[in-house]
Amino acid sequence: MALNWRVKPLDAILATAEKKSLHRSLGALQLTLFGIGCIIGTGIFVLTAAGAQKAGPGLMLAFLIAGAICVVAALCYAEIAAMIPVAGSAYTYTYSVMGELLAWTVGWALVLEYAVAASAVSVGWSGYFSGTILNEFLGLELPRWLAGGPLALGGIEGGLINLPAVVIALLVTWLLMIGTNESARVNAVLVTIKVAALTIFIALTLPQVELDRFNPLLPAGVFGGFGTGLGSVGAAATIFFAYVGFDAVSTAAEETRDPQRNVPIGLVGSLAFCTLFYILVAAGAIGTIGGQPIAGPDGIPFPAGSAELARQCALPEFADRLVCSDEALAHVLREIGYSGIGNLLGIAAFVALPSVILILLFAQTRIFFVMSRDGLLPEGLSRIHPRWKTPHIVTAITGAVVAFAAAFLPVGQLADIANAGTLYAFFMVALAVMLLRRAEPTRKRSFRTPALWFVGPATMAGTLFLFLNLPTEAMLVLPVWGGIGLVIYAAYGYRKSHLGMGRVEVHEPETAGIEPHVPGTTIGTEG
């Protein structure tokens, strides 16, 4: 099969998008608050421990690095999201600019991103459920073999399966299949709970910070080396997961008054606020109980999510370390004498995180749905249930895969794998924006990325740099997954493609009818 350049006509996509004619009502402040709500979530609740193991106090610098790369990526995303505001996000953008083969690779990477991210959130939820709900409130403890994955995979001593993570993943899948509708109002309440919990955490920890706990500030250096996942840059590659959701601001550009002014304010404002917020949380956690990584005899930190680290964390002298906690923020508050408030923070995570799993699963099934409707995947996958009005087949398959991954792998490994897919998608979006500027310079753009000559290449370089600083195993997952996808495309999608058969279709009306409607899911509101 030769490289093909079947390009879906942009005019057909835009003609469909224009029928939506959304009311432009959002101002800069509303957009900023919307962005904060989409960004702050799972990553900061569950990845603080993994980030500290990679960088120690250098985690604070990691948040700055990841936030800066998010800013340039978001500015690129905003132009193309405002120009092509349809379902399928980066997959559709790539299809309209670079053709079917590259669009397939992006869609396939997004499938990986969403599914694995949902698994990561499920494992994060499991930590708070087991630690706060079972241990603290009910005085119960799951048998070791049901409480975590196998030690060889970075789980726990005596572990076999993470049962709570499996149960929550399957429960949310079932809710999606029968068409539960999470309203914007419920989502706003959950966002408020998350932000309030983190604000209380900062207020209680910062007064108790001891400066000597930040020494050494950079125990693994700024740059730990490509493929190691260590140092501040390696931690940035992991905690990039804590920012995913910023792109939802970009997709709101079509509903924004004066987007050329308000979109950059909303994007930069929400990212700057969240970066500062995250740095304060990291400072509070590390400055109160310490956040130095557990290192081997050579002084190099054990990889986060590794069997070696799990063995160390099982030892009594390391059991209370920040880097060993499955519910890091609640653990910090308990350690400094605020057990009751730590438990309330655990409840906040317990209540709020399932909605994030729902949004990620919904976004993944919508990508699958659009690819299936384009003929690149079997059309049976996009069948809508007559009573539930949901794509039940693809939802069930996705949920089973998410539950399987959540059963056996630790949260840090899952976040790294999800980030690999995310970074590839953002790299391709930046490339698409630059190519589209050259190919269609006169096309109407309600938002134009400022200084694209710098922002575009900076996005591509930044996302590539973070990708290369993921652990080698996480980096390898993307080409292996991509290779599997190319085999499927060659065997099925290339021959069955509707565009290849001369049928130009845009599925916005169909995807708009899928239940439930979850706002801000064009590429994921995970955070």
What is this structure's pTM?
0.86
- The more confident residue out of 394 and 21 is 394
What mean pLDDT is predicted for residues 248-253?
62
CB 376 within 8 A of CB 107: yes
pLDDT, greater one: 70 or 370 = 70
69-83, 216-230, 429-443, 484-498 — which is least confidently predicted?
69-83
Give the model confidence (pLDDT) of 37-89 as tens digits.
Answer: 778 866 888 889 999 999 999 999 999 999 999 999 988 988 887 777 665 57
Q: Which amino acid is at 420?
A: A
Residues 32/265, Cβ–Cβ less than 8 Å: yes
- Kindly indicate the confidence band of residue 23, based on its pLDDT and cuts at 50, 70 and 90: low
User: What token pair was written down for 98?
Assistant: 């670079």
Q: Sorting pLDDT into bands at 50, 70 and 90, what band is 1?
A: very low
Per-residue pLDDT tens digits for 312-325: 988 888 888 999 99
- What's the pLDDT score for residue 21? 45
Q: Give the whole-number percent of the chain exceeding pLDDT 90.
A: 39
DSSP secondary structure of 106-122: HHHHHHHHHHHHHHHHH
Specify the higher pLDDT residue, 72 or 359: 72
Looking at the predicted structure, is the pLDDT value of residue 520 above 70?
no
Block residue for tokens 């790539």? 94
- Which tokens hold the place of 213? 């706990």
pLDDT for 201: 95
Contact between 74 and 430 under an 8 Å Cβ cutoff? The reply is no
The answer to whether residue 280 scores a pLDDT higher than 80 is: yes
Question: Where are any strands of DSSP class E within 139-298?
Answer: none
3-state secondary structure labels for all residues of 340-378 = HHHHHHHHHHHHHHHHHHHHHHHHHHHHHHHHHHCCCCC
Residue 408 has pLDDT above 50, yes or no: yes
- pLDDT value, residue 93: 83
* Residue whose token pair is 């652990």: 471
Average pLDDT over residues 254-268: 77
Distance CA 41, CA 449 (A): 27
Output phi, psi for 162, to 5 deg. Answer: -90, 85
**Average pLDDT, integer, range 258-270:** 82
**Per-residue model confidence as pLDDT tens digits over 331-350:** 999 999 999 999 999 999 89
Mean pLDDT computed over 210-227: 91
Report which of residues 387 and 338 the model is more confident about. Answer: 338
Q: What pLDDT score was predicted for residue 479?
A: 95
Q: What does the pLDDT read at residue 94?
A: 86
What does the angle CA 243 – CA 428 – CA 6 come to, to the nearest 5 degrees? 145
- Between 322 and 36, residue with greater pLDDT: 322
Window from 84-98, 271-285, 386-400 with minimum mean pLDDT: 84-98
| pLDDT reported for residue 181 | 57
Task: Give pLDDT, residue 439.
Answer: 85
Q: Which residue has the higher pLDDT, 450 or 37?
A: 450
Segment 401-419 mean pLDDT? 91
Q: What is the rounded average pLDDT of the residues 15-36?
A: 67
251 pLDDT higher than 80: no
Distance CA 231, CA 229 (A): 7
Residue with the bigger pLDDT between 313 and 446: it is 313
Q: What is the pLDDT of residue 163?
A: 95
Rounded mean pLDDT of the chain? 84
Amino acid 345: pLDDT: 92
pLDDT score, position 366 = 77
Residue 132 tokens read as 């706060």
Nearest to 172 by CA among 400, 509, 423, 449: 400
Q: Average of pLDDT values for 254-271? A: 79
For tokens 């950059």, name the residue.
Answer: 264
Residue 456 near residue 430, CB atoms below 8 Å: yes
Q: Give the pLDDT confidence of 174-206 residue by residue, as tens digits.
A: 988 887 655 556 767 887 888 899 999 999 999
297-311, 372-386, 453-467 — which one is most confidently predicted on average?
453-467
Inter-residue contact 191 to 35 (CB < 8 Å): no
**Residue 509: per-residue pLDDT:** 53
Token digits for 288?
């109160």
